[in-house]
Amino acid sequence: MDKINIGQHISQQFNVELEDIRNRVMAMGGLVEQQLVAATKAMVDGNGELAEQTYNDDYKVNAMEVGIDEECSRILARRQPTASDLRLIVAVIKTITDLERIGDQAKRVARMAQRLASDDAKVGNYVELQHMADHVRHMLRDALDAFARMDVDAALEVAREDLKVDKEYEGLMRQLITFMMEDPRTITRVLDVMWAARALERVGDHARNICEYVIYFVKGKDVRHISLESMEEEVRRER
């Protein structure tokens, strides 16, 4: 946390407040990762009970987002932060929004898992879907680690991984379309798997977003909506 400069303020209470929101973001990230793992497991195992529990637990993620957002609003009102402190608060607010959306994607996977668990027919063994889920889960964990350390190099690596997830998603879509063409009776079930895969692909996008906020904090540069090459140039550029 040295790069965040927590502990450098005259007000010790301000230091405590900044450290608190950082810890709460990490806790929220841990909960979101648990939701993602549970939703994927429910789908792969055909566990309707676990799927329902994961679906219903989404409120916990939402509550954490609201709590952190309210605390950030209080800090903005009381401390009126400037420079890097302001960028940190902005990065936190944006990060928890993406974490909440990852929670929503896990909820979508759980919903598809519920539907598939109620159907006796099987689509497949979900090996590719599980691999993709593991990939985006590691991306999320690495994004949170980059946030905790405000490490722009680690953030860039997550952005590179997102390109791999996109290709993985495209390959899985081609495979599922072929599956439907070979056996039209599976169309409804395969579409549910497609929606789950789409949700996982979006998790990768949100993990990349979190890393963009890390770069914003450290470099003071908004790198959203630009290519990976341009993002790398901004990171390498000295301020």
* pLDDT tens per residue across span 212-233: 999 999 998 899 988 888 888 8
Provide the number of structural domains found in the chain: 1
Calculate the alpha carbon distances from 94 to 25, 44, 71, 124 in Å.
Answer: 11, 31, 14, 37
pLDDT 10s digit of each residue in the chain, 239 long?
A: 444 544 456 568 888 999 999 999 999 999 999 999 999 999 999 999 999 999 999 999 999 999 999 999 999 999 999 888 999 999 999 999 999 999 999 999 999 999 998 876 555 568 999 999 999 999 999 999 999 999 999 999 999 999 999 999 999 999 999 999 999 988 999 999 999 999 999 999 999 999 999 999 999 889 998 888 888 888 888 65
Q: What is the largest CA-CA distance in the chain?
A: 68
For the record, the structure tokens of 212 come out as 């963009």
Q: Is the pTM of this model over 0.85?
A: yes
Q: Which domain holds residue 62?
A: 2-236
Query: Quick one: 124 exposed, middle or buried, by C-beta within 10 A (0-12, 13-18, 19+)?
Result: middle
Calculate the alpha carbon distances from 115 to 48, 49, 66, 78, 173 in Å.
Answer: 8, 11, 30, 48, 19
CATH code: domain of residue 6: 1.20.58.220
Residues 6+ apart with CB under 8 A from 211: 143, 146, 147, 154, 155, 156, 158, 159
